[in-house]
Amino acid sequence: MKHVLIIGSVWPEPKSSAAGSRMLQLIQLLLEKGFKITFASTANPTENMHDLASIGIQKINIEVNNSSFDTILKNLDPSIVIFDRFMIEEQFGWRVANTCPNALKILNTEDLHSLRKTREALLKTGKKFEHQDLLDGEITKREIASIYRSDLSLIISDYEMELLRSSFNINDELLHYLPFLLPSITSTTIEKWPLYEERTHFVTIGNFRHAPNWNSILYLKEDIWPLIRKELPKAELHIYGAYPPPKAMQLHHPKDGFLIKGWVENAQEVIKNARVCLAPLRFGAGIKGKLADAMRCGTPSVTTSIGSEGMLDDDQDWNGFIKEDPYAFTKAAIHLYTNQNLWRQSQQNGIEIINTRFQKEKFANSFYNTIDDLIANLPKHRSKNFIGSMLQHHTLRSTEYMSRWIEEKNKK
């Protein structure tokens, strides 16, 4: 039985974030393959973290810049090590290379952090995103270096797959497209959905600690919701998400129909009972869990091009509307909310998107075959990745010694 070590930046919280759901999907995929899994993290436990022991996964707390991790590696002797986000690969990748040189190293990107951070910075300046802005960023260099040092990187968005190929000339052999893995929407599922006339109000959801979500909430509060409320004075916007800070709770104004609800045990239940989902995301990356959940609940949505990125084929229509301007966004939201025929057609569009783009059966075998092939041919695979080999050599000369210096300093 092959042993997989997953090193996470946080413990999986599938009820708090799309990243948590994505990690649990990946874990389930590995369990179904018959792998033994150990999950390690430097993070503190949280009340919303998934009970990993209930699905047979050992949980280990680890420390950054501490050679105790080397001992853990020796004892576990994993065949595969998965780094959850590039920062984890930076911190622990060199230790894995030293202690377990024959282990397959996989980077789970979640989304391209450099793309999200670059877009966030540009939004503040009002500048339109161009690829050159991405190329100039320090975080981009770090993230791309991490991709090269890894034997394989899991990419959740086909937009990001193409970006890595075209802007950075990364070889396809180092990348593997693995989007959300979702069950089909069947007629039985649809029969359980509330009808148009049984649903009320608007909804948005997202972890408050995630910068794109917080920005979209402020955007709704200041620019979009007042316009919607003017046309639909009885409508309400219900805002859900984990870890709402005090500044978010201060936005709660029942008189204006702007309701901060906070964390919810069952996100799909509240989305299913809303008529329209609003997601005016102005920066971000990856695939948006709130929009996938809306489709899975039969709830049409209004979002931006960044919100829909990586979720749509060229010949498909969105599960509602894609609008950038706040006035166009508002008009679309009202139209979708009040037009039953349009709402039903948008719901059908969402069903098609889920059933054609995110089916587990479509991607599972390809993932398994890729892993098996890499394990069987790892030396040959690595010999083709000269840039990765070069960066690995540099890493072992710099990041390693910096980490060792910090460790020695901490002993004093």
H/E run at residue 408? helix 399-411
Mean pLDDT of 8-31: 94
Instruction: Report whether pLDDT(312) > 80.
Output: yes
Confidence of residue 394 (pLDDT cuts 50, 70, 90): low
The reported pTM is 0.93
The class of domain 3-181+360-411 in CATH terms is alpha beta
Could you tell me where in the chain the CATH 3.40.50.2000 domains are found? 3-181+360-411, 187-357
Out of 36-50, 174-188, 383-397, pick the least confident: 383-397
pLDDT reported for residue 398: 64
| pLDDT at position 396 | 57
Q: To which residue do tokens 């069947």 refer?
A: 186
Please report which confidence band the pLDDT of residue 189 belongs to, taking 50, 70 and 90 as the band edges: very high
For the stretch 146-162, what's the b/e string if a residue is b when 16 or more beta carbons lie within 10 angstroms of its beta carbon?
bbbbbbbbbbbbbbbbe
pLDDT score of 351 = 98
Distance CA 133, CA 140 (A): 10
Q: What is the DSSP letter of 398?
A: T
Over range 369-398, report the average pLDDT. Answer: 87
Could you read off the pLDDT of 259-304 as tens digits, one per residue? 999 999 899 999 999 999 999 999 999 999 999 999 999 999 999 9
**pLDDT over 90 for what percent of the chain?**
86
Residue 401 pLDDT class (50, 70, 90 cuts): low
pLDDT at site 172: 95
233 Cβ contact list (under 8 Å, min separation 6): none
Whether 410 shows a pLDDT value over 80: the answer reads no
Cα 162–chain centre separation: 17
DSSP 197: G
Give the C-alpha distances (Å, rounded to integers) separating 77 from 66, 73, 96, 100, 399: 18, 6, 10, 7, 23
The residue written with tokens 């595969």 in the block is: 80
CA separation for the pair 102, 151 (Å, rounded): 11
Residue whose pair of structure tokens reads 């339109």 in the numeric block: 128
Quick: pLDDT tens for 127-144. Answer: 888 888 899 889 999 999
Task: Give just the sign of the alpha carbon dihedral 323, 325, 331, 334.
Answer: positive
Tokens linked to 121: 């910075």
Report phi then psi at 61, rounded to 5: -85, 130
CA 277, CA 291: separation in Å to the nearest integer?
8
Return the SS3 of 216: helix
Q: By the 8 A CB rule, do 356 and 349 touch?
A: no
Q: For 187-357, CATH number? A: 3.40.50.2000
C-alpha span between 264 and 287 (Å, rounded): 21
User: Would you report the helix, strand and coil content of the chain in percent, each value rounded to 5?
Assistant: 55, 15, 35
326-354 pLDDT, tens digit each: 999 999 999 999 999 999 999 999 999 99
Collect all residues with Cβ–Cβ distance below 8 Å to 187 and sequence separation of at least 6: none
Confidence of residue 405 (pLDDT cuts 50, 70, 90): low
Across 245-300, where does the E strand assignment appear? 258-262, 276-279
Angle at 288 between CA 250 and CA 50, to 5 degrees: 80
As a whole number of angstroms, the distance between CA 112 and CA 283 comes to 12
310-323 burial by CB neighbour count: b if 16+ within 10 A, else e? bbbeeeebbbbbbb
